[in-house]
Amino acid sequence: MSEPIRNKKLDSITAPTPQNTPANAAPISSRAQQPGVSSIKEEELDRTAASLFAANPALVSMMQAKLGSLVGRSSGYIESLPASVRRRVAGLKGVQKEHSKLEAEFQEEVLQLEKKYFAKFTPLYQTRAKIVNGNSEPTEEQIKVGETKDEDDDEDPVPEEDINKDEGVDVKGIPEFWLSAMKNQISLAEMITDRDEAALKHLTDIRMEYLDRPGFRLIFEFEENEYFTNKLVTKTYFYQEENGYGGDFIYDHAEGDKIDWKTAKDLTVRIESKKQRNKNTKQTRVVKKTVPTESFFNFFDPPKPPTDEEDDAASDIEERLELDYQLGEDIKEKLIPRAIDWFTGEALQYENIEEFDQGDFEDEDDEDEDELSDDRDEDEESDDENDGSKPKQEAAECKQS
């Protein structure tokens, strides 16, 4: 039996690299490529590089030394070749275009294969949903297989006497299963505020479906709750119709469902009360306004890819789009396929520790500082009614409002 836990004890060594992140290696891989360097116009590329270098000055001299000469050299080199050789180079480019067509066909076949296996996974996901929501109990066989101790597993099995006890007979299914699983997946945990938790504990299922066109839809199913009336809240990721370099699918854009919030329950806004003092009368008045705030539910209102090249905010939007695609991938490739391992926390040990690099955290710190200095104005006292404070996704948006 192939157990996902097994390889933990193999005598091989670690080599965590960007190429080794679970999101890509996940079994139902979209093979989708986020819009990358490959999909930017040259002017944009220059701008992206410029902002990258500005943020990371130490890179500049190194990149110049490493890349500058190479890129420059090769283009001059080709032009300097004799005509007979340039003809051969052109011929090889022609051959490469045939290769590219085959690569696109390959990716299409992989997608079909993913769909075929998705159909095989689906009954297992349905069984999971029934057990999670208390609509059915696991079979003795499933429990036995699940309790089979991995050789290197030092977790205590459930003692026999416990299993036969009636403890918790009144508990239906596995309470807060999806919220707990999400909170163990770092990228999602960072999005979830304390306020969100009260709503997310009403999740009854998270699943996905493929679209007729390239792309996929994430489906969040909720039981009746005090926050919104939607039973399903979905988020759909569309890939570009044309395959990219190497035949990969490329993200195009994402769309989310509108959430029908019940009155005063919208978790994506907070009421800000500001005391304003009249400079002449010295009298104060309280002004309340609704401002966007951090919430997991902003996931369903994804940023729009910039269309205008002159857009100054492009770099901020790119960052938010990147996060948005990443979250979608994480849910599709990690959370849904192996929710129980996220619930127990076992999946964490397969995470690439390098994903949490310094850069990410520095950004967050910077934004916090900005917000502090914005809020503490001499003539205004801000009284923030938002008690959730973790995520960073919407921080930039808050500043603008």
331-360: contacts with a copy of itself (CB under 8 A): 337-341, 343-345, 348-358
Contact 215, 197 (CB under 8 A): no
In the bound complex, what is the minimum distance in angstroms from residue 183's beta carbon to a copy of itself?
A: 7
- CB of 232 or CB of 348, closer to a copy of itself: 348
Q: Using DSSP, state whether 355 is helix, strand or coil.
A: helix
List the interface residues with a copy of itself, window 33-52 (CB under 8 A): 33-42, 44-45, 48-49, 52
Torsion of CA 366, 56, 33, 356, to 10 degrees: -50
- CB of 180 or CB of 234, closer to a copy of itself: 180
In the bound complex, what is the minimum distance in angstroms from residue 95's beta carbon to a copy of itself?
A: 5
- CB of 256 or CB of 306, closer to a copy of itself: 306
Tokens of 90: 């052109």
- CB of 171 or CB of 372, closer to a copy of itself: 171
**Contact with a copy of itself (CB under 8 A): which of 50, 54, 60, 67?**
67
Per-residue binding letters, 96-135, with a copy of itself (x by CB under 8 A): xxxxxxxxxxxx-xx--xx--x--xx--x--xx--xx---
204 binds a copy of itself (CB under 8 A): no
Tokens of 196: 């969100």
Torsion of CA 270, 198, 22, 349, to 10 degrees: 120
In the bound complex, what is the minimum distance in angstroms from residue 323's beta carbon to a copy of itself?
A: 9
List the interface residues with a copy of itself, window 171-200 (CB under 8 A): 171, 173-175, 180, 183-184, 186, 189-190
Contact 265, 228 (CB under 8 A): yes
Contact segment (CB under 8 A) with a copy of itself among 220-228, 246-254, 258-266, 378-386 equals: 246-254
How many of the chain's residues bind a copy of itself (CB under 8 A)?
Answer: 175
Residue 228 pairs in a beta bridge with: 261
Residue 339: Cβ-neighbour burial (10 angstroms; 0-12, 13-18, 19+): buried
Separation between Cα atoms, residue 240 and residue 34, nearest integer Å:
10
In the bound complex, what is the minimum distance in angstroms from residue 225's beta carbon to a copy of itself?
A: 21
- CB of 269 or CB of 317, closer to a copy of itself: 317
List the interface residues with a copy of itself, window 279-338 (CB under 8 A): 305-307, 314, 317-318, 321-322, 325-326, 329, 337-338
151 binds a copy of itself (CB under 8 A): no
DSSP structure class, residue 201: T
Name the packing angle between helices 314-330 and 42-55 (round to 10°).
90
- CB of 167 or CB of 378, closer to a copy of itself: 167
Separation between Cα atoms, residue 87 and residue 83, nearest integer Å:
6
Q: What are phi and psi of 207, to 5 degrees?
A: -145, 180
Of 237, 232, 203, nearest to 219 by C-alpha is 232
